[in-house]
Structure 1
Amino acid sequence: MELRHLRYFVALAEQLSFTQAAEKVHVTQSTLSHQIKQLEEELSCQLFSRIGKRVVMTERGEAFLEHAQRALREVEEGMKTVRDTSNELSGVVRVGTTHTFNMRIIPRSVSMFVAQHPSVSVQVTELPGDIVARELLAGNLDFGITYKPENTAQLQFEPLYNEEMRLVVGKHHMFAKRRFVRMAELHKQKMVLLPQSFSTRALLEDCFEMANAQPVVVAEMNAVVPMLEFVTMTDAAAIISEYGLWGDEVAVLPLQSPTPVRTPGLLWLRDAPRSPAVRQFANIIRDRVNEFNPKRRLK
């Protein structure tokens, strides 16, 4: 199978006329018919049915069409990328990221990228995970760095690594001197958690249910910094990513039975074109993730 077979097939699928399809791809009608027959023989199935002078796609032809179109788009995009690499990158890269990533990965990635490509402007916006997906769908971002959203029909999620969630308590909390805490021990414990709209909250609720634990949620906050401040001032606990913590004003404890684990990744608009600048910045982020998480990166 060669690219011309795919181009001829897509042209005929779009025109449903051998005459018009042949004109579109600039070949004779007999050549087009011969190439389609070769493709059908290679696939061992009929892609089109001839009903009198009409041409209709078979069920297998319709199934193959989406893949053929995607393959041609990928080839065109790859050719464009290769041509563009000889030129200096320019334009704007728009990224939406959650708090944890914005603390650890983004600053270093941006500094490396702008040093290599000073003609590119990088715009980073810190957003909750669900808003990252919404802004991406609205066309306001080139890609996001977040957790896998529930609805991925129009989105493509590329997992990067696994991160464990940690229990965070004040220095005088009853758990402060412990080596670890089981999820069941959080039953009726005062806690500050992310709002119900966050995917991480849904993950934690599942873990609580598995452990038969019902904590007392005394507050909900949508950002890590105020949650940490709240923990230092009260006897409440919080559950935060192991990579979202800093300072020595709190005690950080592993959670077990079960251990809450999240998987951050790159979030793309499915089948949307990616500029060379966007691709290059995403590659730098992947490299930084591998440096930070050599044992937990996903291949």
Structure 2
Amino acid sequence: MELRHLRYFAALGEQLSFTRAATLVHVTQPTLSHQIRQLEDELGVRLFDRVGKRVALTDSGELLLASITRALQDIDLAVRGLRSGADTLAGTLRVGAVHSVNMRLMPRCAALFLARHPAVRIVIEDLAAPVIEARVRDGTLDVAIAYAPASDDEVAFEPLYEEELVLAVTDAHPLAARKRIRMSELHRVPLVLLTREFATRRMLDHWFEVSGAEPNVMVEMNTIGAMLEMVRRSDIAAIVPQRAAPDTGLGWVALEGPTPRRTPGLLWPRRRDRTPAARSFAAILRRILREEAEARSRPRRRAAPRAG
């Protein structure tokens, strides 16, 4: 069965005249008749009753026509959108993101989204994970990027990637030359950490307890950007998601024993339909993350030796 068979059937079903239907789909009457018989043979049912020059839909034909007309309209609409070179999405897309995602990933994702859907207005809010969960639940966010919520019948979670937390330091910090450091070695080390309202902070406190370390938490802040600026202006270190560390002018040291990890993902309202704009935004986000993962997995080329 091909799409043209269904178009010929819909034309004949609407016109109930081989002459008018053939003209409508730009084929000869014999060709139209042959195509309709092919469709009937493939489906194993009779779609039309033919009495002389009169044509009438059978019960099976009526059922198929009712179902196929909307499907053909949707196909035509999608094709017109592609051919026009612009999507028809409009309105406002409301997105929430935890800070480590918002500061680097969201600007790139938003730029690509707007290039594809210029008629959509985006509102992206930098929010704490508990606030994001509540906003997804009450419908004031269309989609969000945060961490897996506790068991929640109203919020669906789609994991995106796994991120490690690292120690951010200046080049002058005593630990700057280290590639890795155990959590236990951070005992009494001056740190700036997130405030205790954040799940990441509570998890860090647990990992410190497990490792037997008591860091010297000199400063607590509620945004990672402010924490990194504090590191630049002082001799203390910060523990932040690895995605937030590059391109900040700071160095970072991997943590182990245990390695603190979190899994950001998409949060969706479970009991409401996902809007077309939110689905498109999520698709762009997945593509960016896939491209980044592929880039990291490629072996780095060694620089060619200089001549001479």
Show the 5 A alignment for 1:118-133. 118-133=118-133
Q: Once superposed, what is the RMSD of the aligned Cα atoms?
A: 2.3
Q: Is the 8 A contact 2:268 2:274 kept in 1?
A: no
Contact 1:93 1:277 in 2 (8 A): yes
Higher mean Cα deviation, 282-291 or 102-111? 102-111
Q: Which residue of 2 aligns with 1:224?
A: 224
Q: Distance in 2 between matches of 1:112 and 1:189?
A: 41
Q: Does 1:159 align with 2:198?
A: no
List runs of 5+ in structure 1 lacking aligned partners. 1-78
Change (3 A) 1:137 1:118: same
Q: Indicate the structure (1 or 2) with the bigger Cα radius of gyration.
A: 2
Length-normalised TM-score, structure 2: 0.65
Q: Secondary structure at the match of 2:165?
A: strand
* TM-superposed deviation, 1:181: 0.8
CA separation in 2, counterparts of 1:98 and 1:107?
13
2:242 aligned residue = 242
How far is the alpha carbon of 1:221 from its aligned partner? 0.4
> Equivalent residues in 2 for 1:208-219 (5 A)?
208-219=208-219
**Equivalence map 1:149-228=2 (5 Å):** 149-228=149-228
Runs of 4+ aligned residues of structure 1 deviating over 3 Å after TM superposition are: 82-87, 246-249, 294-297
Distance in 1 separating the partners of 2:165 and 2:147: 14
2: CA distance, partners of 1:219 / 1:152 = 33
- Look up the equivalent residue of 1:149 and give its one-letter code: P
Over the matched positions of the two proteins, sequence identity in percent amounts to: 39
In the TM superposition, what whole-angstrom CA distance separates every residue of 1:20-68 from its partner, at most 9, and x where no partner exists? xxxxxxxxxxxxxxxxxxxxxxxxxxxxxxxxxxxxxxxxxxxxxxxxx
In the TM superposition, what is the alpha-carbon distance from 1:218 to its structure 2 partner? 1.2
Question: Match for 1:104: what amino acid?
Answer: R
Give CA-to-partner distance per residue, 1:229-281, whole Å, 9 cap, x none: 22233332210111102446433101111111111100111121112222111
Q: Structure 1 residues 279, 190: closer, same or farther in 2, change over 3 A?
A: same
Instruction: Give the CA deviation at 1:151.
Output: 4.7
Tell me what 1:45 maps to: none
Helix, strand or coil for the counterpart of 1:172? coil
What amino acid maps onto 1:157 in structure 2? F
Partner Cα separation in structure 2 for residue 293 and residue 203 of structure 1: 26
Closer, same or farther in 2 for the Cα pair 1:294/1:247, shift >3 Å? closer
Q: Contact between 1:192 and 1:236, CA under 8 Å: does it hold in 2? A: yes
The size of the alignment, in residue pairs, is: 217
Distance 1:130 1:248, change over 3 A: closer
State the one-letter code of the partner of 1:293.
A
Aligned runs of 1:1-299 on 2, under 5 Å?
Answer: 85=78, 88-247=88-247, 249-294=249-294
Instruction: Work out the CA distance in 1 between the residues paired with 2:259 and 2:203.
Output: 11
Change in CA separation of 1:85 and 1:104 when aligned onto 2, cut-off 3 Å: farther
**Structure 2 gaps, min length 5:** 1-70, 82-87, 298-308
Offset at 1:138? Answer: 2.4
Structure 1's 288 and 249: CA in aligned 2 closer, same or farther, altered over 3 A? closer
1:143 partner amino acid: V
